[in-house]
Chains A and B, each alone.
Chain A
């Protein structure tokens, strides 16, 4: 007979469905956790990167002479020193490791210095003479495709059309709008950092804070001209990622310096360099037209969406597909015409960030739903519920949503929550402007707004998305212990805890050790797309099942729940490695955008209550309540943390977070001027978690991390609109947008 997990876990605590303490929790709270920036190696030297000051320029010459003369300098490298292919990229290999004859964005890496001290490296960098011929940058995403080509093949990275139903529909009521989304940054607190150590076999060991070890390994090996087995990566302590570590930063650079100098090389970006050292969220311009019947049923949606990919493609193609396929939101619409374009410009490169294309579309379609409600004289929640998708609904891609899609229920949950009272005491912390003492109630108007969003979970469009997990059980000191090993990156989200919980539940083993994540095991896939609990969780679960099968064989047919496993194993070790895939997806039809492109959909709804000082344009988000379906909350506390964090990041985009550029140059590369929410900006949340299991997913889980980021932003802006009566078509909403000055 086969063994069920429940029979094994009766005596074990901290399995799935509970919230055990995370293994790295105490260290992090005490400030003792070693992040990548804490890496240290005897004899190591420091690497630094000379970057282009210009968004677009031809490199006329590079003179290293004076830099090489600085005492303490071990190496100064340029594109001529790249041992392998000097082009890399997540989807298209279009980005040079070091610029050759042209730089396409401010901050592009041009040369590297290895020196005995960071100060020495800085001094040497200042002595590298690069002569540039400055060129006129391409900065307008709507006209970029017809502008100066920045890459062979022109500036259109990808166009995804969606054609469903009638293409010339008419409707009783039509609303149109043009919306803009500013460039948000992941703003992770741990800056890019890594340590490359040259190995005796001629290869290199790289300790690095990243989101995806194997895709880094492939790109680094290609640039170094080495076989994969000579480039070994180990995950170091990661201080947040949110998509910003899916692309390479200094991975190749540190390895080049290490191999060149035969010394361990450490590189750490400071905060300013970090703003130039990773991709950001695509800014977007979105043109929408919604047609509906007089009773509020959507007849059609038309949209033209532009996403600014900046100088290099990164994951622009996949972001374009998301914005297109999720472009009408969680609504049933029979007639859809969407054209979504991702383009090259000379703005900072943009790629993955939490929400990945669904955020930009979400702001536009939810703004449109409010506009439609207004035009119809309907309640904004009612118009959403009238069109809400359910299980069995058909996406604009033709894909049938085949698990829970409780969109109406989520909206009702947030709507039915009691509203917060209007503050009657003068506590500055509850006022717009906070302790800056800008109002004692003067000019303050309350507004309420709603939004709901949809996000795909896991990788899409036929991508072979899998994870590898190894689980071992053995007896140590008379106790049965387990060990789990994957290459799936822990970036702060708590995957290490989830892996322990799954092993405890599946094997009934209390003590579970998680091995460091590295490339000695197979690919774990990216820590993105809300996918790790689903895919690596699925892989760990499957590896546990394989271990159980082995144990059952050892038991020779006896019922395992009645066997003393310590005795059964003795000195034996059971060690199983499994590669696990979610169900396959299909590519999109390039003409019509039809296809079963996504694995799973996740939904969240928010109600925002804001107080706006309408005279000063300052906003206090009073309440930001959320309802989300998570399929099965494997770790309820971590689920709430994800929903709070995602909502806070959405709040940031709504009212403050933007990398401002001018002519391709970043104007605010610091936390002085790139503002992220503080505890006085982010209210405590009331959260309803639904657990409507997805039968296709391990344990029925549904990706959690991204959906709350999507609906938070439009709910807050809707609330500000309600308070001010203004159209507010751009995020982040700045005080000037409210005061009109």
Chain B
């Protein structure tokens, strides 16, 4: 197996163009597990850890560009204020050691339906910056996940960065696992309020072949929420929202949980996170009026 070690992103893109079957590796928290268990034997690994620019993030006019190699630990530490949903999801990834190495770029590259950051990226309308020697293109998160462990990247493309708006409103992420830490998602859910646009982003993880938007649930809330004169949510609204989120999922029975449980749990998570996010929104409104 070849181990390719580019020093610059341009060099990495050139190598990827030459060897499209080279597997990019950053933190190695997913790729190395597959190698160690002999589940995967790529002809080459493309080591991205020498490329400083991938580990940088920047903010311009409330628009954030997060390099694909920024580890979860730094997202939690440095971006919690601007990207609370992404930070919450990052906090649920593995152990502290894994969060020191693992990256959002890796989550996207692997495109596992159980990846923790995917629902947040969907709910927050993230855009993935894919680069190749041919140029750069921007892929909305909603178009990025194609199937179980399949994404929209071309063989010669690498993930350069993820673009997100600094959260325009409250965000929440919740995930169910059968252990209180260091656990892969049985199912997960993210919600992001977009008050200026009077709409809500909602997405489910680990409950369908790909992470996906709960579109009907989003539309339902857009019609129900009174953004101009916010008041506490009716229980019936939260419940209906939960039902619609559960309906958006098409989970399977597996060793981690039953399909029925996943739907049930998603409804509970959706209800609760909506309550928390709306409560935050109400709090903010009240403070701003006072």
Q: When A435-B91, A673-B255 are in contact, do A681 and B180 touch as well, CB less than 8 Å?
A: yes
Residues of B in contact, count (CB < 8 Å): 34
What are 10 A-B interface contacts by the 8 Å CB criterion?
A270-B37, A432-B180, A434-B180, A435-B181, A436-B174, A436-B175, A616-B176, A655-B178, A735-B257, A741-B263
Contacts of B268 in A (CB 8 A): 443, 615-616
Instruction: Give the complex CA separation of A434 and B172 in angstroms.
Output: 15
> Across the interface, do A437 and B264 meet the contact criterion of CB distance under 8 Å?
no
Q: When A122-B38, A736-B261 are in contact, do A656 and B255 touch as well, CB less than 8 Å?
A: no
> Across the interface, do B36 and A270 meet the contact criterion of CB distance under 8 Å?
yes
Binary per-residue interface labels of chain B (13-38) against chain A in the complex, 1 for a CB within 8 Å, 0 otherwise: 00000000000000000000000111
Enumerate A672-688 residues with CB–CB distance to B below 8 Å.
672-673, 675, 677-681
Instruction: Give the complex CA separation of A151 and B161 in angstroms.
Output: 60
> Across the interface, do B272 and A438 meet the contact criterion of CB distance under 8 Å?
yes
Q: What is the chain B residue whose CB lies nearest that of A679?
A: B181
Q: What is the chain A residue whose CB lies nearest that of B179?
A: A675
> Across the interface, do A436 and B264 meet the contact criterion of CB distance under 8 Å?
no
> Across the interface, do A741 and B264 meet the contact criterion of CB distance under 8 Å?
yes
Contacts of A439 in B (CB 8 A): 272
Contacts of A399 in B (CB 8 A): none
> Across the interface, do A741 and B260 meet the contact criterion of CB distance under 8 Å?
yes
> Across the interface, do B179 and A438 meet the contact criterion of CB distance under 8 Å?
no
Contacts of A443 in B (CB 8 A): 268
A293 lies within 8 A of chain B by Cβ? no
Contacts of A656 in B (CB 8 A): 178-179
Q: When A660-B255, A736-B257, A741-B264 are in contact, do A438 and B176 touch as well, CB less than 8 Å?
A: yes
B128 to chain A, nearest CB (A): 25
> Across the interface, do B176 and A741 meet the contact criterion of CB distance under 8 Å?
no
> Across the interface, do A436 and B177 meet the contact criterion of CB distance under 8 Å?
yes
Instruction: Give the complex CA separation of A433 and B258 in angstroms.
Output: 18
Q: What is the chain A residue whose CB lies nearest that of B183?
A: A675
- Which of B38, B265, B275 is the one whose CB lies under 8 Å from A616? B265
Contacts of B92 in A (CB 8 A): 435-437
Q: When A437-B172, A675-B183, A741-B258 are in contact, do A734 and B269 touch as well, CB less than 8 Å?
A: no
Q: What is the chain A residue whose CB lies nearest that of B38?
A: A122
In addition to A433-B176, A437-B92, A443-B268, 8 A-B residue pairs with Cβ atoms within 8 Å of each other are A271-B37, A429-B180, A434-B179, A436-B175, A436-B177, A616-B268, A660-B255, A739-B264
Enumerate A408-460 residues with CB–CB distance to B below 8 Å.
429, 432-440, 442-443
Q: What is the chain A residue whose CB lies nearest that of B269?
A: A438
Contacts of A702 in B (CB 8 A): none
> Across the interface, do B180 and A620 meet the contact criterion of CB distance under 8 Å?
yes
Residues of A in contact, count (CB < 8 Å): 40
Q: What is the chain A residue whose CB lies nearest that of B178?
A: A656
> Across the interface, do A667 and B261 meet the contact criterion of CB distance under 8 Å?
no
A78 lies within 8 A of chain B by Cβ? no
Contacts of B36 in A (CB 8 A): 270
A393 lies within 8 A of chain B by Cβ? no
B45 lies within 8 A of chain A by Cβ? no
B33 to chain A, nearest CB (A): 8
Instruction: Give the complex CA separation of A736 and B174 in angstroms.
Output: 18
Contacts of B181 in A (CB 8 A): 434-436, 678-681
Q: What is the chain B residue whose CB lies nearest that of A118?
A: B38
Instruction: Give the complex CA separation of A615 and B269 in angstroms.
Output: 10
> Across the interface, do B179 and A681 meet the contact criterion of CB distance under 8 Å?
yes
Enumerate A691-741 residues with CB–CB distance to B below 8 Å.
734-736, 739, 741
B220 to chain A, nearest CB (A): 21
The secondary-structure label for the interface of chain B is: mixed
> Across the interface, do B176 and A667 meet the contact criterion of CB distance under 8 Å?
no
Instruction: Give the complex CA separation of A617 and B183 in angstroms.
Output: 16
Which residues of B come within 8 Å of A, CB atoms?
Answer: 36-38, 88, 91-92, 172-184, 186, 255-258, 260-261, 263-265, 268-269, 272, 275-276
- Which of B179, B256, B261 is the one whose CB lies under 8 Å from A677? B179
A561 lies within 8 A of chain B by Cβ? no
Which residues of A come within 8 Å of B, CB atoms?
Answer: 122, 270-272, 429, 432-440, 442-443, 615-618, 620, 655-656, 660, 667-668, 670, 672-673, 675, 677-681, 734-736, 739, 741
Contacts of B257 in A (CB 8 A): 734-736
Contacts of A735 in B (CB 8 A): 176, 178, 186, 257, 261, 265
- Which of B175, B182, B261, B276 is the one whose CB lies under 8 Å from A678? B182
Contacts of A616 in B (CB 8 A): 176, 265, 268-269
A728 to chain B, nearest CB (A): 15
Q: What is the chain B residue whose CB lies nearest that of A618?
A: B176
B167 to chain A, nearest CB (A): 16
A182 to chain B, nearest CB (A): 12
B267 to chain A, nearest CB (A): 9
Contacts of A739 in B (CB 8 A): 261, 264-265
Instruction: From B174, B180, B183, B186, name the one whose CB has the most chain A CB atoms within 10 angstroms.
Output: B180
Contacts of B184 in A (CB 8 A): 672-673
Contacts of A434 in B (CB 8 A): 179-181
> Across the interface, do A741 and B261 meet the contact criterion of CB distance under 8 Å?
yes
- Which of A270, A433, A741 is the one whose CB lies under 8 Å from B180? A433
> Across the interface, do B176 and A668 meet the contact criterion of CB distance under 8 Å?
no
| 6 nearest A-B pairs in the assembled complex, by CB-CB distance | A434-B180, A680-B181, A741-B264, A680-B180, A741-B260, A436-B175
Instruction: Give the complex CA separation of A270 and B38 in angstroms.
Output: 10
Contacts of B258 in A (CB 8 A): 736, 741
Instruction: Give the complex CA separation of A156 and B255 in angstroms.
Output: 30
B73 to chain A, nearest CB (A): 14
> Across the interface, do A734 and B178 meet the contact criterion of CB distance under 8 Å?
yes
Instruction: Give the complex CA separation of A432 and B175 in angstroms.
Output: 12
> Across the interface, do A437 and B174 meet the contact criterion of CB distance under 8 Å?
yes
Instruction: Give the complex CA separation of A439 and B184 in angstroms.
Output: 18
